[in-house]
Structure 1
């Protein structure tokens, strides 16, 4: 997968770590900031990809990785469906009539155009119902909610509407324009880069820049930390 994915090719990763690292951004992404700014867990001390694959293998073979009374008592898991997960579906099904059934399938099995926004609203409404049901039925819960929704869509819209700590000059213009990370037959770049990724909202046509993710988690701030640690 690594040699083929665009996230492992320049110019991805130019801000951090200075080379492609598998992140679809110029640098850090949502999970990096969730760990470093909310839980004070620096990126360089996070489990490497081999360790993470090992966790998944254990889960698949033994159907358990951690113990309920031990590790899980002070652990957090992030389940994320983002824009890319719906991108192909929207591309093949432009009619809104097809969205509700697909969203219901997604939430039970567990960005800036009108189609995406409508889909996000449907997803979030369905997700709220499912999470409320999970918290009500959770037999391991001792206090508070064990399942919490991190509403990134609301935070994204606030930053786009310039309510965050950062002001982006051209929020709908990606820093990496064209066919990002691709070269033509002669080895020439099929894309152009902006001068300052920190001034751009989008890194490529879909994914935010590191600076946007920083703004998102700065905006979520204390309320997110409390909702995740008081359960």
Structure 2
């Protein structure tokens, strides 16, 4: 009887504490405060970091129901709300940096938080999306420095966040698809990431965080085949190999520069922990499948945000996005990113 009582109390306590993990931005405000930091954040990469650079005419992130949680309408983020860039900015106590393409349309005072050069769908190399890859994004940054938009003094308090590689593997699979060539491709990819990180540092950025690859086999576009019941092992092995090489390259960069300027944000562990935590919760609540996206297409060929020629919605949205990990087939929800962020907090302290 005593064991059953303790078990029941534990379950109630767990269910009581769980919402604290889903408090989102308000919870971070209470922990850190906001908008009184002095750092400048420069962001490079893909849709995991993009906060509005991708073209309105092309990106699904500008269509409903994206942005339904924050800011309440589509605003260019590939999620129902905030993405990892926003949480990193909050950690640094600054506003999320302005997207590069909007720099000429905002008050110059907003440039003091840095700038976001990330474009959804892009990668280290050219991808299936005709948008600026990482090399071109760094070119944009260098040009702003040459134009004195950012001075050496600005860069002395600067930090870079780099999120890349997922789209490079998608492009590789679409164009080549030969798995025996993956190791060689990974080596060339990680080598180019290393070159790019070094270039950002040489431009004056003092601290640079680069994401490891998330567990690709746990993304809904891979778990779909098992009705969202289990991750696919082969893509996850690719992620692990990529991350192993990336760790080695980052270590070499720090030795070469005789500094600790470069560090990795372990998305693989952060994603798997977020999924595992929600899975443990749902085993008690019977509510949410952590591998199933909140927004899904209702028929073949349609995905989140798509409509047919009559303008009819060809997607459905779950009742509680705030409990989901994934928003669509490849992107986390705001809650998913917040859960990932909570698992990255100890790493983020390396920024200081």
TM-score class normalised by the smaller sequence: 0.7 to 0.9
Q: Please, which of 81, 85, 94 is the counterpart of residue 27 of structure 1?
A: 81
What's the secondary structure of 1:218's corresponding residue? Answer: helix
Structure 1: gaps of 5 or more residues: none
Note if 1:162 corresponds to 2:282.
Answer: no
Using the alignment, how far apart are the partners of 2:187 and 2:89 within structure 1?
29
Please report the TM-score for the alignment, with normalisation by the length of structure 2. 0.57
- State the structure with bigger RCO (CA 8 A, min sep 6), 1 or 2: 1
Whether 1:177 aligns to 2:230 is no
Q: Deviations over 1:39-78 (max 9, x none)?
A: 12233xx32442246995462484997555x333221011
- Matched length: 220
C-alpha distance in structure 1 between counterparts of 2:62 and 2:185, whole Å: 30
Other-structure match for 2:338: 214
Output the TM-score relative to the length of structure 1: 0.84
Which of 191, 210, 218 is the aligned partner of 2:315?
A: 191
- Point out where structure 2 has 5 or more consecutive residues left out of the alignment: 1-54, 104-114, 118-136, 194-215, 219-231, 298-302
**Aligned pairs (5 A) from 1:101-140:** 101-110=184-193, 111=216, 112=218, 113-138=232-257
Task: Give the whole-Å Cα distance in 1 for the aligned partners of 2:138 and 2:191.
Answer: 24
Q: CA RMSD in A?
A: 2.7
Partner of 1:6: 60
Contact 1:155 1:216 (C-alpha < 8 Å) held by counterparts: yes
Give, in whole Å, the separation in 1 of the partners of 2:257 and 2:341.
28
Q: Any conservation in 2 of the 1:175–1:202 contact (CA below 8 Å)?
A: yes
Specify the structure having the higher radius of gyration (Cα): 2
Cα contact 1:28–1:213 (8 A) shared by 2:
yes
